[in-house]
Structure 1
């Protein structure tokens, strides 16, 4: 079973999965693995929080189980459901066969044969290759009652199904929670975790990330793209582009055989890097040229 033996080893393993990781993030990630503590990653959308869970799962050869959070998510939806359609078929079959004993039928209906496992229950099950990576994505989209339930589940790494009893993980999963900070997550949940703020990368690191994810892009184009996107983040935009948008935009430019940025190319492809019409409208006309000129000037040697 593969594991990380040091901070540098984890960085190297993540690099093999094309995830460029800062030492600070690698340190908190290594400690999370070493101590068996959940890892809470907070930051702007598109800064690579979800990707690190995928990269850790791939690097360690573990199964990735993802719980995508949303408003209204409750404990039952996150843990299990009963397959009512199959249960009804079993009831009808029993009735057609002459009416089975009610208590016996009830006991038969509420067994694991009719259980639909959702992410939290799946993460408590033994897995080939070791404990899975449980990604609880965008926890800030849920409400406080779900946070309270999650706090209990992550404290003991067990869930209770009334009809079956308590199911405890034989080996605690590797838990990674992410938040885009659309609201504050309760301190009690954060205290259970090791915390790291995932910020936008600096220029050189973002170039490194882009070259890892889009290696076919020429270095000159990669540097222009990153310089332009980083200048965009200083503008008054409704939604600043993340690293994910930098990568998407570079791939679009490659598909169009673009060798260097120009105002015309930017106007044609802006939808790959900005996702709101108001932001796109702001960059029409001379604005895109101004930002491009500033980006290119920042690349010129002093």
Structure 2
């Protein structure tokens, strides 16, 4: 019997992990035997998953890493994770990285680790899946449920596809969290007002989302740990900047100016609200207005 999944891994693969694994590896015979993520938690990030899977030749390990954007350390990390998993479980490893957001123009995503040192060679391939190269309508109609919240990031995504994705989540009994995550990514291609007309948008649910937490966590890792509250504030500022850079391709000077304004916001709750605005705003002017109000840069006329 398949082992119990941890919360983040279960959410990533959905209630039917075999559906996800079979679709992603294009093999309808695969069987998921056990989630091993909890046993490997001291190594993996909270958004990564390690599974023991069985095919016609026997058991193997499937290592899945979810990545928001390009990370130059990915090859080294996948090599390390796979080697540790092989050592612990004595099974072959199939490493897979799912990228959500496309990199800057001209940046290629490596699909292997390669090192040569004093005549010795180390090499490991890993599978790279790019969300923006998946066909949105195909995923809605034929893909695993756990990928449906990502359809706004996929090729051919438009309002009709987003509506179809929402219907698919309703019809298949998905939780509210998946719908909110779909709304978050839908705001990248539609106005916030249109998104709210199609999808429920609950801030309380969004805050519990692993995707929201991943964005915030990436920002936290950038901040200096000079006290808990200061770290949270710095992390949220970095998360807002990261999201705006991704959505609006901001210049270095624009990012620097925004950072100076965001640093004037001392309350973590206000920064969390600005993070949601950064995800849903239609333009930088609209975000700037929200930021100025939050930071008290503009004093309302009396």
Ranked by relative contact order (alpha carbons within 8 Å, sequence separation 6 or more), the top structure is 1
Name the larger-Rg structure: 1
TM-score, scaled to structure 1: 0.33
Instruction: State the TM-score, normalized to the length of structure 2.
Output: 0.33
